[in-house]
Amino acid sequence: MTNGILGLRDVVSIKDFSRRQIEWLCEEAEKMEDVFRGGSDALKGKILATLFMEPSTRTRLSFATAMYKLGGQVIGFENVEVSSMAKGENLSDTIKTVENYCDAIVLRHWLEGAAKFASEIANVPVINAGSGTEEHPTQALLDIFTIKREMGTIDGLKIAIMGDLKYGRTVKSLSYGLANFDVEIYFVSPESLRMPEDVIRYLEKKKMHIEEYRMLDEIIKKIDVLYITRLQKERFPDVTEYEKLRGSYKVDIRTLSEAKPNMILLHPLPRLDEVDPEVDRTVHAKYFKQPFYGVLTRMALLKALLA
Amino acid sequence: MTNGILGLRDVVSIKDFSRRQIEWLCEEAEKMEDVFRGGSDALKGKILATLFMEPSTRTRLSFATAMYKLGGQVIGFENVEVSSMAKGENLSDTIKTVENYCDAIVLRHWLEGAAKFASEIANVPVINAGSGTEEHPTQALLDIFTIKREMGTIDGLKIAIMGDLKYGRTVKSLSYGLANFDVEIYFVSPESLRMPEDVIRYLEKKKMHIEEYRMLDEIIKKIDVLYITRLQKERFPDVTEYEKLRGSYKVDIRTLSEAKPNMILLHPLPRLDEVDPEVDRTVHAKYFKQPFYGVLTRMALLKALLA
Amino acid sequence: MTNGILGLRDVVSIKDFSRRQIEWLCEEAEKMEDVFRGGSDALKGKILATLFMEPSTRTRLSFATAMYKLGGQVIGFENVEVSSMAKGENLSDTIKTVENYCDAIVLRHWLEGAAKFASEIANVPVINAGSGTEEHPTQALLDIFTIKREMGTIDGLKIAIMGDLKYGRTVKSLSYGLANFDVEIYFVSPESLRMPEDVIRYLEKKKMHIEEYRMLDEIIKKIDVLYITRLQKERFPDVTEYEKLRGSYKVDIRTLSEAKPNMILLHPLPRLDEVDPEVDRTVHAKYFKQPFYGVLTRMALLKALLA
């Protein structure tokens, strides 16, 4: 369903966003920095429901902060066990209930398609805060805004995306979002955690320039952006395999010594040991600025959907 | 203890409400619809504490929404395990502490009498959000407001209340509340989950017209309101008994084909399978409007107690 | 790091506070009583993050109330299991993320030194809401404010501190804070739960008058303040030892019959059975006023750090 200045009622998939919409949101996010400092009553009297059926710190607090900075309020839960879902209520009934209390719903759910389903039955906007292994559209938007802010452009960049490309939802959403731009993408992962075939095919249909690698050192010298995610130990059937691979996907000072001076390093966080803490102090590290850009992006989005 | 425009300081039991008080609250709730849309500063600077010692989505979020729409703030916990009660603090000490932080306390507790006890020791208003198996007064108030809004009247109606009448607290609170009106009540339940004798006797003393049935089909044709609650599997010592009975207490399209065209179907939610999802789309289904009426009712109540 | 009217950016340890700073905060807290009643927009648009890695009712709700009364907003979590720390994120990364969302961080952590560490890496003020077994500075400040309010002075008082002095953090923080004043301190505890040597030495270096006792009855007649904490059963290797001792460290009406008429009894709460509920009704009992003074103290602190 569509409406409003953004032309979308719901934010379910980054695939629903055009280049124009992404660029417009980046411009709006830019303007939000002043609102963040000074506060605003733009959404006074409005209520956002944040329903998190999976653990989260960043996304939940980021949406809450965005709503508060715009003068609105937040209700919700972050623990299914103390909600009525613990009594066996299905997602549909939870949505049909909560929509009575709020002006928009932010939903994180472990199931593929949960946000899509919720958006189809809700009579208020639904924002996908992560569903299954594929979609996390607001993360993709904030990642793109971060690149834009830090590099000044998206077009023309060479962007490496490294780590668990098979199960990670942020890497897929980011790839879908970047498909609107003129970029070269290098996927770097172990053979067993390659970007799934259907994602590759979607991107190729969009005429995206894609290359796949096993090791970062093959391309480290030429990239402008390195987006890294953690290898999740529990994805490996064989722990020896994990231990063998994790060393190859770690970024440290030595790795960065070969990078362009202005290459930026992004990470959706949380990280485990895939980025050495030493790296935090380098000019490359931008992963602790991403959360701030995330608030600005979500402010722009909430204002577009609710004001 | 009594005070204020409502004539009550605490909301512990629906039995404490006269017909006049219920009617007044329904009138106030009616007016709250505009305030809900436009927002208000009526309770600016006031703080509501919501202390939930049992899982809840609806009641907790509904009170929070009501408070926010009136310009107030909310503190509290929804998980005993992260509160000081996890360190062994008793309810009395928790209340004597929290009353220092707030202007009213909303309490859900698994024990019969917990809210009554809390109201006796607290120096701020205490609102019972469900205690034990008997009391849930704000649910009764919102149920009555829903009937009034949807049917235009309470007096003269024939109201069936069906499901687990033995352990459900919403059905008892609703019955106590309806005893103030000129209605006919039909209790429909399995023999083993009949409305307890002491409740029946209380209602009879109030000259309420009561009939008891085992099956809905005996009365479906003549009722104006069908209020249904779930059969809780865990209440049955014999699972075969449960499986046998649940079919008889399910409402589907076929069941409703015999009902009056303007009969309304209510449910406190959450539901499991006692109302077929097909029914949601019929004109009878009002159970997803109840949560909205609930916010209006609680806004009226909070304003009466705190403004 | 220091700045602002208080001369401190962070509140990590009560040891960082001078007598002048404590007195100034007590004066400010005094003024906050009117603000508490009337509300304020002093911190409008500001956001406080409350990160609780250990259970809490009092401290968390107290900070939230203080922030709301000053017109600010609150984000955070009270359950590590639904945060990104459940995915293995370390404290440093959580802090470097959350600082992007807020104007100050309130942190409770089970580790000694956690708040100190957080304050060193954060670019917003960090307030220690309890770390390890030693520090709980805002509790010490509110305890001192309570004594000041109830007794009119700190100087000249004889103050007994009784219970688990080895593992309790409130008793140590209070002692450090009182070391700025001209008081006599009597530590009362079982041999096995004595105040640790390093704390004693710190206090002696500050020229504090300290005496140690095994039994309260040796000094009950001459003290002005009795500060009691619970004996934690789990600290005793031998449960018989615990059962034997707990009786000696219980305060009841009989105990108080020997006390000065205006002696005040304080407790950081929660209590188990170390103070008999009968005592609540006596003029000595001030432990349910402490939470209120706590809100005033934290309002003064937040305003000093953030306004």
The answer to whether the CB atoms of A65 and C44 lie below 8 A apart is: no
Residue B6 lies in a domain: no
Residue C1 lies in a domain: no
Nearest chain B residue to C71, by CA: B45
The distance from CA C157 to its chain's CA centroid, rounded to whole angstroms, is 19
Q: Provide the mean pLDDT of chain C.
A: 93
The answer to whether the CB atoms of B96 and C62 lie below 8 A apart is: no
CATH number assigned to the domain comprising residue A174:
3.40.50.1370
Interface mutation vs chain B, best among A93, A95, A123, most B CBs within 10 Å: A93
Nearest chain A residue to B66, by CA: A101
User: What is the pLDDT, as a whole number, of residue A239?
Assistant: 83
User: What is the pLDDT, as a whole number, of residue C137?
Assistant: 98
Q: Of the candidates C52, C270, C288, which has its C-beta nearest B88's C-beta?
A: C270
Measured in angstroms, the CA of C79 and the nearest CA of chain B are apart by 7
Instruction: Place B50 in a pLDDT band, splitting at 50, 70 and 90.
Output: very high
Same domain, B65 and B44: yes
Q: Of the candidates C61, C270, C271, which has its C-beta nearest B101's C-beta?
A: C61
**Residue B71 to residue B87: CA distance in whole angstroms:** 34
Same domain, A104 and A182: no
Residue C109 lies in a domain: yes
Instruction: Place A1 in a pLDDT band, splitting at 50, 70 and 90.
Output: very low
Measured in angstroms, the CA of C252 and the nearest CA of chain A are apart by 38
Same domain, C128 and C166: no
Instruction: Place A83 in a pLDDT band, splitting at 50, 70 and 90.
Output: low
Residue C283: Cβ-neighbour burial (10 angstroms; 0-12, 13-18, 19+): exposed
Percentage of residues of chain A with pLDDT beyond 90:
81
- Is B2 near chain C, with CB under 8 Å? no
Same domain, C274 and C221: yes
User: What is the pLDDT, as a whole number, of residue B3?
Assistant: 54
**Residue A120 to residue A54: CA distance in whole angstroms:** 21
Q: DSSP 3-state assignment of C268?
A: coil
Query: What confidence tens digit (pLDDT) does each residue in B54-66 have?
Result: 888 899 999 999 9
Q: For residue A288, is pLDDT > 90?
A: yes
Q: Give the residue-averaged pLDDT of C247-273.
A: 93
Query: What confidence tens digit (pLDDT) does each residue in A229-267 have?
Result: 988 777 777 888 888 887 778 999 999 999 999 999 999
Same domain, C193 and C73: no
**pLDDT: which is higher, C244 or B127:** B127
- The count of structural domains within chain A is 2
Measured in angstroms, the CA of C280 and the nearest CA of chain B are apart by 10
> What residues 72-131 of chain C have any CB closer than 8 A to a CB of chain A?
73, 75-77, 79, 81-89, 92-94, 96-98, 100-102
Closest C-alpha to A43, from A7, A75, A68:
A68
Q: Give the residue-averaged pLDDT of C43-48.
A: 97
User: What is the pLDDT, as a whole number, of residue A200?
Assistant: 97
DSSP notation for C138-199: HHHHHHHHHHHHHHS-STT-EEEEES-TTT-HHHHHHHHHHTTSS-EEEEE--GGGPPPHHH
Nearest chain A residue to B234, by CA: A87
**Residue C156 to residue B33: CA distance in whole angstroms:** 60
Single pTM value for the model = 0.95
Instruction: Place B1 in a pLDDT band, splitting at 50, 70 and 90.
Output: very low
* Ranges A96-105, A168-177, C231-240: which has the least confidence: C231-240
User: What is the pLDDT, as a whole number, of residue C1?
Assistant: 42
Residue B214 lies in a domain: yes
Peptide bond preceding C270 in cis form (omega within 30 of 0)? yes
Q: For residue C2, is pLDDT > 70?
A: no
- Residues B108-126 as b/e (b if ≥16 CB within 10 A, e otherwise) read bbeeeebbebbbeebebbb
Query: What confidence tens digit (pLDDT) does each residue in C157-196 have?
Result: 999 999 999 989 999 999 999 999 999 999 999 998 999 9
Q: For residue B234, is pLDDT > 80?
A: no
Residue B107 lies in a domain: yes
Q: Give the residue-averaged pLDDT of C78-107.
A: 86
The angle, 0 to 180 degrees and rounded to 10, between the axes of the packed helices B169-178 and B197-205 is 10
Query: What confidence tens digit (pLDDT) does each residue in C61-87 have?
Result: 999 999 999 999 999 988 767 666 667
User: What is the pLDDT, as a whole number, of residue A238?
Assistant: 81
Q: Give the residue-averaged pLDDT of A154-173.
A: 96
Percentage of residues of chain C with pLDDT beyond 70:
96
**pLDDT: which is higher, C267 or B2:** C267
Same domain, A93 and A175: no
Q: Give the residue-averaged pLDDT of A203-227.
A: 97
The answer to whether the CB atoms of B57 and A96 lie below 8 A apart is: no
User: What is the pLDDT, as a whole number, of residue B82?
Assistant: 60
The distance from CA A271 to its chain's CA centroid, rounded to whole angstroms, is 14
Same domain, B173 and B129: no
Q: Provide the mean pLDDT of chain B.
A: 93
Q: For residue A159, is pLDDT > 90?
A: yes
The answer to whether the CB atoms of B85 and C271 lie below 8 A apart is: no
Same domain, C93 and C159: no
Same domain, C45 and C190: no
- Is C271 near chain B, with CB under 8 Å? yes
Residue C297 lies in a domain: yes
The answer to whether the CB atoms of C47 and A68 lie below 8 A apart is: yes
Instruction: Place B41 in a pLDDT band, splitting at 50, 70 and 90.
Output: very high
Nearest chain A residue to C92, by CA: A277
The alpha helices in chain A, defined as continuous H runs, are: 19-38, 58-69, 91-98, 114-121, 137-151, 169-178, 197-205, 239-246, 253-256, 290-306
**Residue C64 to residue A191: CA distance in whole angstroms:** 49
Instruction: Place A4 in a pLDDT band, splitting at 50, 70 and 90.
Output: low
**pLDDT: which is higher, C88 or C207:** C207
Measured in angstroms, the CA of A222 and the nearest CA of chain B are apart by 50
Same domain, C105 and C47: yes
**Residue A279 to residue A256: CA distance in whole angstroms:** 8
Residue A4 lies in a domain: no
C82: which chain A residues are within 8 Å (Cβ-Cβ)?
52, 55-56, 78-79
Q: Of the candidates B47, B73, B87, which has its C-beta nearest C55's C-beta?
A: B87
Same domain, B143 and B276: yes
Residue A86 and residue A144 in contact, taking contact as beta carbons nearer than 8 Å: no
Residue A34 and residue C65 in contact, taking contact as beta carbons nearer than 8 Å: no
Same domain, C127 and C172: no
Domain region containing B66 = 14-135+294-306
User: What is the pLDDT, as a whole number, of residue B183?
Assistant: 98
The answer to whether the CB atoms of A92 and B55 lie below 8 A apart is: no
ipTM of this complex prediction, to 2 decimal places:
0.94
User: What is the pLDDT, as a whole number, of residue A82?
Assistant: 60
* Alpha-carbon radius of gyration of chain A: 19
Q: DSSP 3-state assignment of C233?
A: helix
Instruction: Place A113 in a pLDDT band, splitting at 50, 70 and 90.
Output: very high
B288: which chain A residues are within 8 Å (Cβ-Cβ)?
96-97, 100
Q: Which two three-digit tokens encode residue B15? A: 């039995």
The answer to whether the CB atoms of A45 and B295 lie below 8 A apart is: no
User: What is the pLDDT, as a whole number, of residue C86?
Assistant: 67
Chains in touch with B (≥3 Cβ pairs < 8 A): A, C
Query: What confidence tens digit (pLDDT) does each residue in C12-23 have?
Result: 999 999 999 999
Q: For residue A9, is pLDDT > 90?
A: yes
Residue B9 lies in a domain: no
Chains in touch with A (≥3 Cβ pairs < 8 A): B, C
B295: which chain A residues are within 8 Å (Cβ-Cβ)?
100-101
